[in-house]
Amino acid sequence: MSFKEHREKLYRTLEANTLVIAYAGIPIHTNEDDYFDFAVNSQYFYLTGLERENTAFIAYKSADKTQEVLFIEEPDPHSERWTGKMPTKEEVREISAIEDVRYTDSIEGAISSFMGRFRVERVYFDMYRCRMNDLPDYNLVMAERFAKAYPQAVLKDLHTACVPLREQKDADEVESIRKAVDITRQGLEFVMKNLKPGMMEFEVQADFEYTCRRLGAKRQSFPTIAGSGINGCMMHYGTNHCEVKDGSLILLDLGVKYENYCSDITRTYPANGKFSPRQREFYELVLKANEAVAAAAKPGVTTRDLNDIARKVLGEGLVAMGMIADVSEVGKYYMHGVSHAIGIDVHDISLVGDVLKPGWVISNEPGLYIDEEEIGIRIEDDLLITENGCEVLSKDIIKDPDAIEAFMA
């Protein structure tokens, strides 16, 4: 993976006299002496390839060159005794291709030096906020601290600067997503082999995650959704604590991270291996929408256009089935968008309304949620936008209802 190329793409978009400061972040405290699993800041990872907590990166672009410095914790035998080997300067140099590696206790001095000795006109920090009342994440805290120390500095948002770069994946990024999708395929095949009525939803989840771990995936892309019956009608159901009843469907929305890149796949299976005629009718309609979206996904269109296609196909099908009187009522049974970008994050960085270009990876996930019949169906593929259309990266994860029944038999 060439993280150096990611940085060079960023530098090409920056004006001279610009400082970039990016932190990996720190683990978030839970209670007592416990912490959540560490999740690295995505902009930092994109630019360095490092997933290690308590590391940081500074770049200064002047008129004629860009100077880069990476900061890591100094390995110490006491910490290593408790939590394992810490990365060395040589190891992070190898991953990031940044030559100048220093220890984190020198970062404030380095920032002061850049601010004092160079004509810094703007400073980039990742200042993204998901929700107004979220606790500020580490980069935002550091940006605020910096602004207090240097009130004259003009702060800019690294997240916004990374949008056009990260929207378009390079060959290495696509390769990681392909691997994540393939691990997901194997996990789902293991699930299909074992699935039977009477299992608990969390057992199905465990079958999937067990296979993924065995295949080398370090973590899920997001908490696995295993919703049977009515639970499949809740878009982000995640408690997975119910029994999978005979005659029900189970909706599995799941994925893994490979080299920190995500897959995001949904398949819906009959618990007993056979769709009822009614379930199959809805399933085939969702599949038709999924195929229509894949046929339309190409450079120049937006995810909004794709959603209009999904709504039209699903709406017309529901009218034909007598479920609704007019296509405009489709929202009664289909309540989410059909597509989002996928990458380092499962809902990856992108802006609503941006047109698709070759190299984008997006989801294709129409669904129908019929509460009154306890039927929740979603079929989600991952698409790579190509020069003339798209490649369905998850084409080997079976979704044809006959193929699913044959496999489960």
Residues found near ligand GLY in the complex (CB under 6 A): 222, 253, 264, 340, 346, 363, 365, 380
In this complex, which beta carbon is closest to Mn ion, that of residue 68 or of residue 264? 264
**Residue 222 near which of Mn ion, ligand GLY, none (CB within 5-8 Å, type-dependent):** ligand GLY
Does residue 139 belong to the site contacting Mn ion (CB under 5 A)?
Answer: no
Selection from ligand GLY, Mn ion, none that 207 binds (CB < 5 to 8 A by kind) is none
Contact region for Mn ion (CB under 5 A) — 18-26, 168-176, 247-255, 279-287? Answer: 247-255
Q: CA nearest 42: which of 349, 365, 378?
A: 349
From the list 89-97, 108-116, 233-241, 249-257, the region that binds Mn ion by CB under 5 A is 249-257
Which residue of 68, 264, 345, 348 would you call a contact of Mn ion, by CB under 5 A?
Answer: 264
Interaction partner, residue 382 (ligand GLY, Mn ion, none; CB < 5-8 Å by kind): none
Q: Is residue 363 a contact residue for Mn ion (CB under 5 A)?
A: yes
For ligand GLY, the closer of residues 55 and 363 by Cβ is 363
Quick check: 253 binds Mn ion (CB under 5 A)? yes
Nearer to Mn ion, 72 or 306 (CB): 306
Minimum distance between the CB of residue 222 and ligand GLY, rounded to whole angstroms? 5
Quick one: what does residue 126 bind among ligand GLY, Mn ion, none, with the CB cut-off 5 to 8 Å set by partner type? none
Window of 26-34, 102-110, 286-294, 360-368 that interacts with Mn ion by CB under 5 A:
360-368
CB of 225 to ligand GLY, least distance (A): 7
Question: Which of 126/380 has CB closer to ligand GLY?
Answer: 380
Taking the least distance from each CB to ligand GLY, the nearer of 70 and 344 is: 344
Task: Supply φ then ψ for residue 234, to 5 degrees.
Answer: -100, 115
CB of 296 to ligand GLY, least distance (A): 19
CB 285, min distance to Mn ion, A: 19
Count the site residues for Mn ion by CB under 5 A.
Answer: 4
Which residues of the shown chain bind Mn ion in the complex (CB under 5 A)?
A: 253, 264, 363, 380
